[in-house]
A and B are shown apart, each in its own frame.
Chain A
């Protein structure tokens, strides 16, 4: 099965998927010292984003979120790639671009229907996602 989206921050990655049906704010919902999801409203609360292919509808949050992404990357705690099925906002885009983390948005068909947390996923430099 192959999905495809729009490349905002380029790159390739292969790893375990972590899928949430809810939007996430990197500032406030993720602990930058551990990579754990600490946002109580999240359906992936307590999971780690480290080395995951993080799959979300979209992200929320202020500019500080971009620095959280960069902090995670510098401490080797970041996700390997981020996939969104809606449109990326400038904050997540800035964060992934300064951190060289692949970011693909508008992924179709909706990945939530085809990928479950724990599945092995490959992100290609063409913006394609292989399940």
Chain B
């Protein structure tokens, strides 16, 4: 691998041990990808934030790194952590967990990371431009950035994204290279795909058939932000690719996606008729979705025995708050949490979950062994209102 003088100096520890270690990670991963050189990145997004995921060892690693006095070189955001850092008591989380989680966030802040914890950094907090090379973890955000913004990023791990944030570099391989961003299998929609749930299922179906191949989607295109983020999250849950393409035609192996397949995918995971907790916000709700929910629940109440959890980013929350949506929603008895997500929280889920996201359905079943009901967000919400 060819390195510039500056990169060599970082690797040799001229700028301290923190940068030396970060550089070793970038170069080690670059070797695996057969990279020829390194490139500059414009931003980073780090996963591995929840104490439930990284534990005491992750915390120890971050604190050790922060003590080396290194700072990120590019704008860097975080994935959801285990709790709402303000309303954590409302989640039923204990003090010890809060203290550990707060220390993790503090260590990231000491490294210069913007401590906003969201899986939708591309909406408000860390917006890439077309053709920007970036180093992002969180596979749904990676797919969104590559597919809908046309930025360039590989599917990084939390560790490699942090190394890129500190050095401002990543190795040039994989999806940074235009020649590697070519589809190898097509999925053709045989009906008019519309709405967040249908795009979630299309993404999930696509990931299953494409596996490690970049998919090309024919005859369907998500227009709204909720449709785009649901497609990205669905694809990230079942596939291992970092992007998809949408075009009018393509000459390659093609798999059809029809109404029956759509129903089959839902029926396979949606095994409950009822649910106790409705969880919306995977990926984090955008302002438009919060507004839609507020309109729906205005002046009404959640029925006794049911709960509704909404998860969103701090930025969407502040805008929704200023528009009066949060008050309307909380008055109706729904809970709104920021900086977190049910999946990465320590909350022990004992009851069935209602969801409009295939990603939630996938992980609630595999990680928590809990059954789900899948339907459109507004249909689920209607079921829990008096």
Contact = CB atoms under 8 A, between A and B. Distances in A.
Interface string A75-100: 00000000000011111011111100
Contacts of A131: none
Contacts of A91: 157
Contact of B58 (A67, A87, A88): A67
A74 B57 contact: yes
A115 interface: no
Interface residues of A, dominant DSSP: helix
Given A70-B57, A74-B57, A63 B157 contact: yes
Nearest to B156: A90
A75 to B, nearest CB: 9
Contact of A94 (B31, B60, B157): B157
A97 B55 CA distance: 18
A130 interface: no
Contacts of A105: 32
Contacts of A8: 28, 31-32
Interface string B157-191: 11110000000000000000000000000000000
B29 interface: yes
Interface in B119-170: 137, 156-160
Contacts of B47: 63
Contacts of B32: 8, 87-90, 93, 105
Given A63-B48, A63-B157, A94 B25 contact: yes
Q: Which of B24, B137, B156 has the most CB of A within 10 A?
A: B24
A8 B158 CA distance: 18
Contacts of A32: 57
B224 interface: no
Interface in B260-279: none
Contacts of A74: 57, 60
B29 A94 contact: yes
A64 B53 contact: yes
Given A70-B61, A74-B60, A97 B158 contact: no
Contact of B24 (A67, A71, A97): A97
A95 B137 CA distance: 16
Contact of B31 (A6, A66, A89, A96): A6
Interface in B1-31: 21, 24-25, 28-29, 31
Interface of B: 21, 24-25, 28-29, 31-32, 47-48, 53-58, 60-61, 137, 156-160
Interface of A: 6-9, 32, 63-64, 66-67, 70-71, 74, 87-91, 93-98, 103, 105
21 contacts: A8-B28, A9-B24, A9-B28, A63-B53, A64-B53, A64-B54, A66-B157, A66-B159, A67-B55, A67-B57, A67-B58, A70-B57, A71-B56, A74-B57, A87-B32, A89-B32, A91-B157, A93-B29, A94-B25, A98-B61, A105-B32
Given A63-B157, A97-B24, 5 more contacts: A67-B54, A70-B58, A70-B61, A87-B32, A98-B61
